[in-house]
Chains A and B, each alone.
Chain A
Amino acid sequence: MDTYVLGLALHPASSWVADKRLEEMVFDTAKAALDDAGITRDELDHVTIAACDELDGRSISSMLLSAPAGAYLKDEIKVTDSGLIGLCLEAMRIESGRFHLGLLSSWNKSSKAPFEDVMRMRCEPFYTRDIGLNASIADGFFARAVCDAYGISESDANGAVRASYKRASDNERGMRAAVPSLEEIEASPYVAAPLRKMQQAPVTDGGVSMVVCSGAWLKKHPHRRPLARLSGVAWRVDNYQLGKKRLSALTGFKESFQKAIAMSGLRDFSLLDVVELDSQTAFHEVAFRRALGLPDSCNVSPSGGPFAQNPYFCTGLVNAAEAVLQISGRAGAVQVKGTKRAAAHGCHGFAQQGNAVAIFEGA
């Protein structure tokens, strides 16, 4: 692959960005990414957006949000699956040879819309909606299934919650929430058993933009130093219909990692220095780790992952930004020294129906 990240920006994490319209939040982040890359909007030859109308609180939300994302009079395409899927499309647009310098943006202002009700409306109306699934309930099913499949105990899960918040507390880019005690976690109410409230990563507001370029562009601009090279990218969707196998086999998750690793030319996962996982709950965190069998030498979610910030729709792309920051030595207090290869994972849909993985290396 010959695709590079030239610059990036993360919007400050918040439980509710109250002082800006969504479009202002998007503009601030997009502009900051352009500044970070040292390029102007004029130089872009395309824009890619990843966003969700229902979470944005308006139909065809890109009508209002494409220009703040830098797309005025640019060739722009929007995907609706997740921020990290936006990176997948962006990578293909660059790899096609048709485009050379793009701005990718994704965001989440869940405070604006009734998050779980939006999720509930993802139920098909015939068999599921009357019974009612939403993100939490689907994750409750997921938790049950992976507990059985991977032998995960409540204590494993609660330990993972504390460990995640501990890592997150060092991350200046995150919410820096207090690390809860085991007692607090154990006492938090069930949301959808066996999932407890404090085992969920709270959804936050945020956004991320990245400037992405081709190797050909870099050759023409030799004074530019990219932050990282995208060496592998893969994504998979699983069945919509939930069931034991679908919930516990983590097929899409594993295949996305395997395919991305293969593309990057790495022999196996052990060569990854950092892996940022999209663990929406503690059960995801434990199950994902066990499914990949990562060695201890691999630092998993040094950023704290969604427990640092969870702008739900683009948490996977935030993970990608964190991975790039690690590669480029800009991760601050959570920097893992000497990071040469980092993977970022994102998931979306009911009980991680979709998964995507991006692998970065030093440029």
Chain B
Amino acid sequence: MVKQGSDKNENVIYGEWHVRYKYSVGKVAGKFFDGLKQKKILATYCDKCKLSFLPPRAYCERSFEPCSGWIEAGLEGVIEAATIVTAEFENLPKPPYAIAYVRLDGVSTAMINFVRGLDLSDVKSAAERLEPGTRVRVEFKDNPEGRITDFHYVLPTP
């Protein structure tokens, strides 16, 4: 799939590479995605560190022990960091959209997802509404499929 050609008077050879992968879901992701289908967000926790993790993981990076078990995360939390994407990037969603790391109640770490339902026409004032510390809640799709996009965050209705 390589052809020689000219591009603006430059001597170039074109090439492309399409690669397909099969990623094993593993011990933990499967349970998490099943939880989403039931509109639950499941986190793993480490007894030693007394910390709970989203995204869930099979072992704790700090204690380097397998995680002890699962807990159900609260469906509200606090924004730790956010941004509003206004540029169009290759193969990424059409802007504008907002994404944020939110630490859900009962969980030690924050997890990323879209923040929806926010008026993004004035970026600066929209950004103010997403300041770290702002509380948000989780909203699930009507028919969750077992993917991370089954839920997103929304600002509480004023």
Contact = CB atoms under 8 A, between A and B. Distances in A.
- Report if A and B touch in the complex (beta carbons < 8 A): yes
Interface of A: 17-24, 27, 31, 34, 40-41, 57, 67-68, 70, 72, 111-114, 117-118, 121, 125-126, 129-130
Grouping DSSP codes into helix (H, G, I), strand (E, B) and loop, the A interface class, with mixed when no group exceeds half, is loop
Interface string B41-69: 00000000000000000110110110000
B56 to A, nearest CB: 12
Nearest to A30: B64
A202 to B, nearest CB: 18
A21 B29 contact: yes
A21 B64 contact: no
A31 B26 contact: no
A129 B15 contact: yes
Contact of B13 (A19, A34, A111, A126): A126
Given A40-B64, A41-B64, A21 B17 contact: no
Nearest to B13: A125
B2 interface: yes
Classify chain B: how many residues form its interface, as a range. Answer: 20 to 34
Contacts of B28: 21, 24
Contacts of A40: 64
Interface string B127-143: 00000000000000000
A20 B23 contact: no
A18 B27 CA distance: 10
25 contacts: A17-B24, A19-B26, A19-B27, A20-B26, A21-B24, A21-B27, A21-B28, A21-B29, A22-B23, A24-B58, A34-B64, A40-B64, A41-B64, A57-B21, A68-B61, A72-B61, A72-B62, A112-B21, A112-B23, A114-B19, A114-B20, A118-B19, A121-B17, A129-B2, A129-B15
Contacts of A22: 23-24
Given A125-B15, A126-B13, A130-B2, A70 B64 contact: yes
Contacts of B2: 125, 129-130
